[in-house]
Each structure stands twice: as C-alpha cells, then as structure tokens.
Structure 1
C-alpha cells in the first residue's frame, strides 16, 4: 500500500479489525520509509459493476460517489457517521446483489432516496433537490408537501 505522505510503496500492517457493521476491514499501517501511520479500509467486491448514466455513458460503479452524495445531503445534520456508513453499505450491497453487470444511475439514485427518506427528511429533500433538479422554490414546497402528506398517511395507517 502506497504511503499517502511520502508515496513510498511499502507499508506494514500494525493492526487489523472489522468495522462495526462487519462490511469491511480497518487496517492501521505504518510506512517503512517515513514512519507515518495511516488507516485503510478493505471491502469485498463481488464483481465489476457498470453504471449506465442518463446520457448513455457507462462508467465503473464507485462507492465513493454515493458516500460523497450522502455526506453532502447529511451535512450539518445530527446524524451519526455510523448510520451514514450503514446506509452507503446497504446501497452498495443492493447494487452488488441485484445480479446484473450493469445498473442505471437512476436506479441507484432511487435507492439513495429510499435510504435517506428513512434516515432524515431534510437530507432526503436536499438529495432530491439535486437528483430531481429542482429549479424553483415551488419545487421544494411541492416536494416537502408530498413528504408531509405521506407522513400523515403513514401515521394514520399505523394506528
């Protein structure tokens, strides 16, 4: 593993342990050249999955893109990082277990929307505003009203 500080190619693993949700291995490493310590995470990748963008362009699936989008939607919200990581891991598992080599980006977007709807309504609206390309304040109002109505219906059906 290349050192992020001095770019030396060799590092030594000092400690390995599973993450709390058991979806990856956390490794503490030390560079053999400069002595700096850093952490890496190792995850299982079942197969290469290709994402088909709305314009037809194809690119490899990248977990980091989902992490960035979800983190941005959840920014300045009181949501524990562990819950965000669990959401991203769950979406990644869904994508990998679908059994298809290709998946539409819109389908991944809907998975993120579903997860954020359950996690935090403000993060859900933030993500939706970008994902659904809100252009005016009215778009936010209509979307928030739809969420509020759905919440009222869900609460009524629970009783």
Structure 2
C-alpha cells in the first residue's frame, strides 16, 4: 500500500475495525517514511451485475440509483435511512448470489416490491406506481385490492394507519 502523500511503499497498521455493517474493514495506517496517517478500506470485490432495461439497453447495476428510487417512494412514511440501506443491501446481496450476471430491471423492481411490502404499504404503492407505470386511478385501485386480498389470505391484522384504529375497508 503506497502512502498517498509521499508514495513510499512501507507503512504500518495502527488500527483495524469492521465498517459498513461488516462488509468492509477500515484500517488506519501510518507511513514509515513521512509518518503521515491515512485510512484504507478493504472490501470484497463483486462481479459486476448488468441491468437490462425496458428499452433493451444495458447498464451496470448502480446501488445509489436503486437507493434513490426507494428513498423517493418512502418519503414522509417514517421509515429510517438504516432500514432503507438494509433493504438495498439485501437486494444487492441477492443479485450477487445469482448465477447469472445479467438481470432485468423488472426483476429488480419485483425484488424491491417484495421487500417494501413488509416494511410499509404506502411506500409499496408509491414504488409500484412508478415501476409498473400506472396510468390512472384504476391501476392504483387494482394494486390496493390485490394488497388487501393477499393480507386477508395470510390472516394478518388490518393495516393500522394512525396507530389507533384499523383503516377502513377499501371500496372500489
């Protein structure tokens, strides 16, 4: 590891610790020549995943782009940033574990919807409206009906919107 100040190749590690929720190692180093201190990070190098978009173009998977879309869907829902980071971590880990290095944007959208469904229904519907390109109120109504029917099948209690009482039954 070269010193970023004098480019000398010898240095010593002063401190090592886990960083980024255990996904990397942070090391504080000191150059043996100029004695300047600097920080390095050791991370697993992932094989790049290519996303096939709706228009058939291809681009590398961009974690920050995915997080940005999820954050927008979750605005004013009360979900904290740590939960959203964890959600993106889970999706990225699942993509890395797949045998194929190419995935469609539709598959990524479905992974996001699966994760958002259990976190927040409002965020789920917001994300679905953009991802599934809703064109009118009927699309929203169909999604809400599907969401309510699947909740009833599982037998979970009605979604509590204000913390005090169950939300009213959806009528379309």
What SS does structure 1 have at the residue aligned with 2:133? coil
Aligned to 1:99: 99
Aligned to 2:48: 48
Q: Per-residue CA shift, 1:114-133, capped at 9, x if unaligned?
A: 11111111100000000111
Aligned to 1:148: 148
Larger CA Rg, structure 1 vs 2? 2
Q: Aligned residues, how many? A: 134
- What is the deviation of 1:49? 1.3
| Structure number with higher relative contact order (C-alpha < 8 Å, ≥ 6 residues apart) | 1
The ranges of structure 1 where at least 4 consecutive aligned residues each deviate by more than 2 angstroms after the TM superposition are: 21-28, 40-45
Q: Structure 1: 5+ residue runs without aligned partners?
A: 1-8, 29-39
- What is the deviation of 1:152? 1.0
* Aligned residues: CA RMSD: 2.6
CA distance in 1, matches of 2:41, 2:114: 26
What pairs up with 1:59-70 in 2 under 5 angstroms? Answer: 59-70=59-70
Aligned to 2:19: 18
Alpha-carbon distance change, 112 to 146 in structure 1, aligned in 2, over 3 angstroms: same
CA distance in 2, matches of 1:110, 1:51: 14
CA distance in 1, matches of 2:42, 2:78: 27
Q: Comparing 116-125 with 40-49, which one deviates more in the overlay?
A: 40-49
Q: Structure 2: 5+ residue runs without aligned partners?
A: 6-14, 29-39, 157-172
- What is the deviation of 1:55? 1.5
Relative to its length, the structure with more helix (as a share) is 1
CA distance in 2, matches of 1:41, 1:128: 36
Q: Per-residue CA shift, 1:72-93, capped at 9, x if unaligned?
A: 1111111121111110000000
Q: What TM-score does the superposition give when structure 1 sets the normalisation length?
A: 0.73
- What is the deviation of 1:42? 7.2
